[in-house]
């Protein structure tokens, strides 16, 4: 008789994916769903899906969801959490959404210390709308709106959201993880679970940035894209815990 070594988390819906082949969104969804199951919070978890590749995230989770306007997920999450403090609220946002049109929303939600969890997918481009340059696009990176590469002298440097948020005085949990290897994926699950645990304990605002790939818009195979994360993104976006209410910060 075979032994079951892996099964779909209850909080993850059994539906086909719309994401591109090799896209890590599905892996992050699975991690979040597993954390929800492990912590026993499915019946009181509410997700927020804004505009972007994650606009259909509500199709993949067996929990309640709100749809938010572009960049406004932290505001919707704030309203839900203040109206129902007993709920566990998480926003799932991309870099074009969170770090551009939603910059003010995320900065002030963190500064107010809202007791919500934000999962931030950084794949350096506007993935859904055609691969345009995002605030996180790497120096020299070619996109549909920077055909000669991002010129930092005229456009500025990529925004490091974890470093920005961790500079605020308000207590928070701020961390960055990656999807470029099996080891990092295992670590990402531990960090995301920690973020949810801190919200359950009503401790602080929690934020996890996930370095991800966009093979379609990068013009790479999935394997090439994972190597590019490790070689190009990780040196500029170092992994680790940038701020913690427990004082256990640790960066690579």
Look over the chain and give the mean of its residue pLDDT values, rounded to a whole number: 95
The pLDDT score that the predictor gives to residue 7 is 87
Please give the Cα distance from 1 to 165 (Å, whole number): 51
The pLDDT score that the predictor gives to residue 114 is 98
Q: Which one, of 91, 34, 36, lies nearest residue 68 by Cα?
A: 91
Token reading at 20: 């591109």
For residue range 4-36, list pLDDT tens digits in order.
877 899 999 999 999 999 999 999 999 999 999
Residue 1 pLDDT > 80: no
Residue 75 pLDDT > 90: yes
Q: What percent of the chain has pLDDT over 90?
A: 89
Q: What is the DSSP string of 231-247?
A: IIIHHHS--EEEE-TTS
The pLDDT score that the predictor gives to residue 108 is 98
The pLDDT score that the predictor gives to residue 222 is 95
Strands (E), the chain: 45-49, 64-67, 88-94, 117-122, 125-126, 132-133, 172-178, 205-211, 240-243, 250-251
Listed in sequence order, the DSSP H helices in 62-117 are 73-83, 95-96, 103-112
Convert 187-204 to b/e letters by CB count within 10 Å (16 or more is b): bbbebbbbbbbbbeeebb
The pLDDT score that the predictor gives to residue 128 is 83
Q: Which one, of 139, 70, 138, lies nearest residue 103 by Cα?
A: 70
For residue range 186-224, list pLDDT tens digits in order.
999 999 999 999 999 999 999 999 999 999 999 999 999
**Where in the chain are the domains?**
25-251
The three-class DSSP label of residue 183 is helix
Token reading at 181: 């290897």
Residue 131 pLDDT > 90: no
67 pLDDT band (50/70/90 cuts)?
very high
Q: Contact 204/171 with Cβ under 8 angstroms?
A: yes
Q: Contact 244/173 with Cβ under 8 angstroms?
A: yes
Compute the residue count for the chain: 252
Q: What is the pTM of this model?
A: 0.95
For residue range 153-182, list pLDDT tens digits in order.
999 999 999 999 999 999 999 999 999 999
246 pLDDT band (50/70/90 cuts)?
confident
The pLDDT score that the predictor gives to residue 35 is 98
Residue with the bigger pLDDT between 21 and 81: it is: 81
CATH number for 25-251: choose from 3.30.479.10, 2.40.340.10, 3.40.50.970, 3.40.1160.10: 3.40.50.970
Contacting residues for 215 by C-beta, under 8 A, at least 6 apart: 20, 21, 22, 23, 221, 222, 224, 225
């Amino acid at each position: 008789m075979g032994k079951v070594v892996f099964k779909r988390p209850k909080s993850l819906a059994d539906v086909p994916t719309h994401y591109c082949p090799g896209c890590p969104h599905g892996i992050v969804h699975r991690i979040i769903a597993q954390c929800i199951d492990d912590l026993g919070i499915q019946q009181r978890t509410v997700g927020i899906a804004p505009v972007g590749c994650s606009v259909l995230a509500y199709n993949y989770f067996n929990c309640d969801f709100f749809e938010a306007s572009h960049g406004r997920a932290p505001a919707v999450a704030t309203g839900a959490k203040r109206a129902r403090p007993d709920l566990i609220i998480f926003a799932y946002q991309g870099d074009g959404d969170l770090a551009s049109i939603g910059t003010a929303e995320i900065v002030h939600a963190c500064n107010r210390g809202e007791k919500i969890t934000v999962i931030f997918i950084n794949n350096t481009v506007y993935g859904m709308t055609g691969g345009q340059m995002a605030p996180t696009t790497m120096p020299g990176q070619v996109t549909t709106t920077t055909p000669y590469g991002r010129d930092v002298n005229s456009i500025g440097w990529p925004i490091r959201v974890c470093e920005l948020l961790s500079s605020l005085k308000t207590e928070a949990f701020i961390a960055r993880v990656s999807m470029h290897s099996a080891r990092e994926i295992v670590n990402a699950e531990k960090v995301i679970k920690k973020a949810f645990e801190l919200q359950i304990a009503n401790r602080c605002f929690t934020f996890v940035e996930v370095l991800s790939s966009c093979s379609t818009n990068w013009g790479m195979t999935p394997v090439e894209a994972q190597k590019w994360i490790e070689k190009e993104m990780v040196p500029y976006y170092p992994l680790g815990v940038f701020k913690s209410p427990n004082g256990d910060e640790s960066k690579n």
